[in-house]
Every structure is written in C-alpha cells, then in structure tokens.
Structure 1
C-alpha cells in the first residue's frame, strides 16, 4: 500500500500541459498542451500508451461517460476521438479563427464547448452545433455545467474591448433554450464559477476581491465571504464545491486555500497551517488551483511556491508534493488519484487507498 503523496505516474512532455482528464474507470490519465500531442497513459499496469498528434495547443479534455471516446479542445477545433486508437471520429471549429478553450461531456452525451465569446452544444454523433449562447461584451473566463446538464454558469470578464471598464458578471443560462436565467454583477470581472451539486446555487470569485454565493434561478445573492479581521486582501481566483454540497474551497493571492461553509460562507479551515514567525513558513505563494475530492473529506491546492497540497476541511495537511508551475489540477472519479498538469509535463499523485471513494 503506497503512502499518500507518492507520485504514481510521470508523463514528461516537451512543453506545458494545461488540459488533463481521467477515464471513468480511474485507470487511464490523459494530458495535452503546447507540444501538439495528446497522450493517454495507464496508471499502473494496463493498456499501452496512446499518443496522437494534434493541430495545435490542447486546452481541454474529457472522457465520455463510458470511457470509449475523448473530446479534445484542439486550437480552433473540437475533436471527438476514439478512446482506444485516438482516431478522429469528427472535427470542426465553433467559429472560424476562434480558439476553443474548454470541452466537456454533458450527462445526455452532448458536448459542451466554449470560446472567449460563445458556448456551443454539439451533437456527439455528428459534431453538429445544436445550440449557441453568445456573450457580448466578452470574455468568458470560465464555465461550469450543472450536474444534471440542464444549466451552464459563465464567468464573464468585461474589462476587454473598447471601453476597458472594470466590470463583469456571473451568469446562468438554460442549455435547452439558451435563455439567461440569472445574473450576479460584482464590482469587477468574474474569474471563475462553480455549481452546487444540486444545481440550485452558484459560487463565484471576482476581481473586486469577493467570493459570493447566489441563487442559480434568480441571481439573488445568498452570501458574500466575510472580510478578514486584519483587512488583508485575499484576492480569490479559484474555487471548487464539495461534491456533497456542504463545503467549498477558495484559493487566493494571499497564499491560502480556505474551506468555507457552503450555507453561510464562514471559514472552517485553511491550508497551509503556519507557525507564526517561522522562516520556513514565509515561502508559500498565491494559490492558483483548487479541487475537492469526491468523498468531500479532502481538498487539494496548487500554488506558485511550486507545491501541491492535500488537506482536510480543517486545513490539516496530508501531503505536500513539490512540482513545477501547475496549470491544471483534477481528482480521479474515485478520488484515489490527483492529476497535475505543469509547465513541463504531467503527473499523477496517489492519495492512498484509504482516501478514495
């Protein structure tokens, strides 16, 4: 039995890895990025490695629910590939001359892909676009799909374009009709969004240094995270929901990942745990990525001090693994593995048998 924090797989690449995905059976790990290669590796003993040449930088990956296909956001196109051979089943752009930033499967089998300005719903069999949701002014900074696949949340950064104003919003759209259902408008750009497991609420982080929870159906704010007692600016920029809906984790520029109560926004714990005045605790940096394990007991964070941490809801650290600069962070479906995409490849960290499920 391996110790939590053991690196189970290393997948070097000649460039950055900004898109990663695990197969539904937890046995395969896919990564892609700037070196125009899609690589799929078995974790432990399994199928032989698969390597596919791509058109450009890979920015998004997702396995189909049955694991037989892989959706790839490949420069200006979306590819649907056979999960065993890598053969392209179909390909196509969402809009000519526009890069695709993300792609994922909905529960009904459709693909959801996004660029800076639009979200497209694609038929899996043909690649045909069945619905478009456009955003004006751009930029779509992040998207999240509700668990049942009926709604999509958008983080919108309105600082771009001719007016250069400091503005943004978090929006919820019905995927079947494209209709906007709710909107929350902080004082600045919205960086990221996440649905609660039941799809009734949305959490968002904004450039006005706030973390807010709002109702997905109305846009009514439920809470805004309380300010720090010492008035330190936390500058939240990444977040995730506990799959059970009880907790959220939020990372910020102050170097902490905070676990918040999903009902109230009150802080339950934070990582790393610091010893006041200790020189060893002065080297941590801004948190850039966070994720919650499927069992809801642990969260992971990556920060610019080149460390990946796994910790419980109280902030107690289970491991700290040195890495290069992290560009992607994702748990396997069973929580046993933590995938990490970095500036020079990818790795899979073993969380231990006791921490899966």
Structure 2
C-alpha cells in the first residue's frame, strides 16, 4: 500500500480515456476511449491485454463473474473474453444510434443505453431481449438497481424541436419497460442514482436543484416545496453511499457536498473553505463517487484536482491531474481510477479506502 494519493498504475493511451472499469474481484482494470485500443491491465501482477476499438469507446463493464467484458464502441456493443480478448458477439442494438452506456445485470444480460432508448441484450448471444424507447429524449444519464430490475434515467428535453427548458427523472422496469415513477423539475435532469435498496432516486437538474423521490410513484421526499430555493448547489453529478445513509453532490460552484440521504441536510463539503474568504476560483465539479466503505468520497474538478475526503469534507489527499473524463473506485476501495487525456491513472487511497 502506497501513500494516499500516490500513483499505483498508469495506463498510457493515445486519446481521451472516457471509459474505465474494474473486474468484480478488483484484480483487473480496463480503460478505453478515443484511441484504437482498449487496454486491460492487472492491478497487481498479471499479463496485459490489448484489444482493438474504433476509437469511440464510451463505456466498459465486466461481467458478474469477471470472465467477460462489454465495450460500447460507437454504435456497436462487443462482448469479449476477459482472458483472450476474443469477440464472443457484437452488434448494434439500434443502427444509427451510438451506445453511451453498457452494464451487466446480475443474471449476465447486458443493458445498453443510447440517446433515445434502453436495450436489454441476451448475455450469451447479444440478441435483443427488450427495447424500451424514450419519448422526448435525450438520455443524459442512467443508473441500474442492484437487483437488476429497474433503471433510472436522467432526461434532458431541451433538445426537442421547440427547445423548451424541460426534463425529467424516470424509473422504468427492465422486464416490461413500464414506468414506475417520474419526477419533473423545472429544467433538464443531469444525473440520477438509486439508493442501495432502489426505493429512492437521487437526481440533480439544470434548475439548480438536487431532489430525492420515491422510485415507486415518484413522490418527492426532499426538499420540501418551500425549501427548494435553499437547496441550490448548481449540481452536475451525484452518487449514493453504498449503505444508503449519505449522498455526495458535485456542483458548478466548485464544491462536492455530502448530504444526509434521508433529509438532504449538508454534513460537509470539499474543499473545506472559509465562506468569508475570497473566492479561490475552484472550478466546477465534474465527477463524484463514494468509496465502497461509505466513509470517503472522491471528486474531480475542472481545476484539475482530484480529492479524497471524509463525510465532514476533511481531505485525505488532493492530487493535481489532467482533465478528468471518468472516475471510479475499485471494489475494495483501495484504488481510485481516473480517465484523462492520453492516460488512465490508478491512485492509491491508502488506509482511507479500505474497511
């Protein structure tokens, strides 16, 4: 174990790294993006694996048992052997639509999300099992419940013909496509995240609000209607803690805030700055993530700093980086992966990420 914030592994690329993924056991790490190779590396000792891509990799995911991984590459989804890199199947869920997200369900099926639809693909063959079109898209973000039954979608409706300011957060059943809940803020929704038990959905929107609503029915839990103006954080990205007690929200004002999940009350923020001090010029927060232990969170800002901090906002490290395009913790929390231009980097979290 190295010092907190030290570099444990660097994976060189020729282009922006927009997609990263750890295997379920944390022994392997995959990265891809704007160059012609997806690279799989051991986080400890092991042989490297390079597989070709068309240079439009937007998402990567390992299967539940770690023997395969899925690649969203342009309009195509590839399923590859995690040992040899061989293509097991490939195909476009919907020709003409780029795939923005791939994730595995617990039973091995693959979910692929485009700008306009959600597809469930057979894990063995890649054949479409279900297609769920979205009215008035664009799909700006998505999250899947742990049990694989529900998907939450962040919808940006500003791209319609009338360019009106509108959006919604929606919850759909993956087995039928039926909608179980919807929340409609006053503008586009940027991001969504399920609580661990999938009963609640956290979302943030362009109307400068962060909200929590019930996945079944869509009733808003917080903020109360009279408190909306008090909750403004200029939010852009968010995450639930794995135990469901806390959430972290990153805002364009430069702060990552830790909020009590039940009430939305702020517990801490990073960086911890004196509110009376002059504006330090901290850039917008572009990525946030909670560590698996629920005790630390990470943020990346346009000021090119990655921070690891506790629930009160106390920083364990702040590391200068290139612009961060992707970010995520290893399953055991000991590593924080970031995708940047021309490289992916694994940062050692030291003792703070474990436990």
> Scaled by the length of structure 2, what TM-score is found?
0.96
Within 5 Å, which residues of 2 pair with 1:136-151? 136-151=135-150
> Secondary structure in 2 aligned to 1:13?
strand
Aligned to 1:251: 250
Q: CA contact under 8 A between 1:324 and 1:344: conserved in structure 2?
A: no
Cα RMSD after superposing both structures: 1.5
Aligned to 2:2: 2
CA distance in 2, matches of 1:318, 1:325: 20
Aligned to 2:89: 90
Within 5 Å, which residues of 2 pair with 1:217-228? 217-224=216-223
CA displacement at 1:13 relative to structure 2? 1.0
Deviations 1:218-252 (A, max 9, x none): 100000285676x9x53101000000000000000
Distance 1:19 1:245, change over 3 A: same
Within 5 Å, which residues of 2 pair with 1:91-106? 91-106=90-105
1:37 aligns to 2:43 (yes or no): no
Unaligned runs of 5+ in 1: none
CA displacement at 1:278 relative to structure 2? 6.0
Deviates more, 1:245-254 or 1:343-352: 343-352
> Quick one: which of 320, 339, 351 aligns to 2:349?
351
Aligned to 2:327: 329
CA distance in 1, matches of 2:282, 2:71: 34
CA distance in 1, matches of 2:151, 2:273: 38
Structure 1 consecutive aligned stretches of length 4 or more whose deviation exceeds 6 Å: none
1:188 aligns to 2:187 (yes or no): yes
> Secondary structure in 2 aligned to 1:85?
coil
Aligned to 1:204: 203
Aligned residue pair count: 353
CA distance in 2, matches of 1:61, 1:74: 9
Deviations 1:18-59 (A, max 9, x none): 000011111111100001210011123x22111111123100
Q: CA contact under 8 A between 2:210 and 2:233: conserved in structure 1?
A: no
Aligned to 1:311: 309
CA distance in 2, matches of 1:148, 1:194: 14
Q: CA contact under 8 A between 2:335 and 2:353: conserved in structure 1?
A: no
Aligned to 2:72: 73
Distance 1:211 1:321, change over 3 A: same
> Quick one: which of 334, 337, 340 aligns to 1:339?
337
> Secondary structure in 2 aligned to 1:343?
strand
CA distance in 1, matches of 2:229, 2:172: 33
Q: CA contact under 8 A between 1:39 and 1:51: conserved in structure 2?
A: yes
> Quick one: which of 257, 277, 296 aligns to 1:298?
296
Unaligned runs of 5+ in 2: none
Deviations 1:140-164 (A, max 9, x none): 0001000111100000000002111
Q: CA contact under 8 A between 2:61 and 2:103: conserved in structure 1?
A: yes
Q: CA contact under 8 A between 2:17 and 2:343: conserved in structure 1?
A: yes
Aligned to 2:178: 179
CA displacement at 1:315 relative to structure 2? 0.3
CA displacement at 1:11 relative to structure 2? 1.1
Q: CA contact under 8 A between 2:191 and 2:237: conserved in structure 1?
A: yes
CA displacement at 1:343 relative to structure 2? 2.0
Distance 1:278 1:224, change over 3 A: closer
Aligned to 1:119: 118
Distance 1:249 1:354, change over 3 A: closer
CA displacement at 1:175 relative to structure 2? 0.7
